[in-house]
Structure 1
């Protein structure tokens, strides 16, 4: 059962590791994804290079998340800022709990690909939240 899930997970998430998707319905790759894709192409499949590229991509998406959050906060009323802050804290708790769950042996079955799969999932979580915040910002812009 674990091997089957790991195979399904690898097949599901492997395209995310090796090919970036367009960002947030724009039809274009985000600059972070373009850089990540270049680094992945240069990695030659070497795990340490893949993990380093993932680490840099994660840091870049985290910075992008914080930028989008700050810009959205600047557009909101005091009451809306409180709601967004609560939502963001809840999302951060979800992200942390979800990541912990993905590291569990029952889900990722350990092994040498576990860090690659879990890191890719973490990057995708960040990208999704950045997209959500960017969408909110578009709606909130006067």
Structure 2
């Protein structure tokens, strides 16, 4: 029962609904919109849901790399070093967080575990893209 509740909470999380405004823009991001469509079309089939999550992950990973590169181009050498260090720490956090989410206490390692863990990963990735975009707005000339 607790795993059903965890799954229900994830489905109700902001990352699960692409129609939510992204990162202070007042509009949904195209990746979220497509993810919403893909999840709707999945019909609740785990493999189709995982495919949708994979496509969304690829999209957000591309956005992360773009935001990171654009931000790096605006920074001094010292600031670049700090951002690089922060990004490496964030990547280590994501790895540790994912490992924790795979634990039996959280995911139960049941058939929904890949969906639950991937959704958490998407949320972390999407949030980091937003953080980098905000930093970029702060330092942009």
Q: TM-score, normalised by structure 2?
A: 0.93
SS of alignment partner, residue 110 of structure 1: coil
Q: How does 1:120-135 map to 2 (within 5 A)?
A: 120-135=119-134
- Structure with greater proportional helix content: 1
Q: Which residue of 1 aligns with 2:17?
A: 19
Q: How does 1:1-142 map to 2 (within 5 A)?
A: 3-4=1-2, 6-16=3-13, 18-20=16-18, 21-142=20-141
Q: In angstroms, what is the RMSD of aligned CA positions?
A: 1.3
Segments ≥4 residues shifted beyond 4 Å: none
Q: TM-score, normalised by structure 1?
A: 0.92
The alpha-carbon deviation at position 121 of structure 1 amounts to: 0.6
- How many Å separate the matches in 1 of 2:125 and 2:16? 17
Unmatched 5+ residue regions in structure 2? none
The alpha-carbon deviation at position 61 of structure 1 amounts to: 0.4
- How many Å separate the matches in 2 of 1:49 and 1:106? 25
The number of residues matched between the two structures is 139
Unmatched 5+ residue regions in structure 1? none
SS of alignment partner, residue 58 of structure 2: helix
1:55-78 residue CA offsets vs partner (Å, 9 max, x unmatched) = 010111011101000000000000
Higher relative contact order (CA 8 A, sep 6+): 1
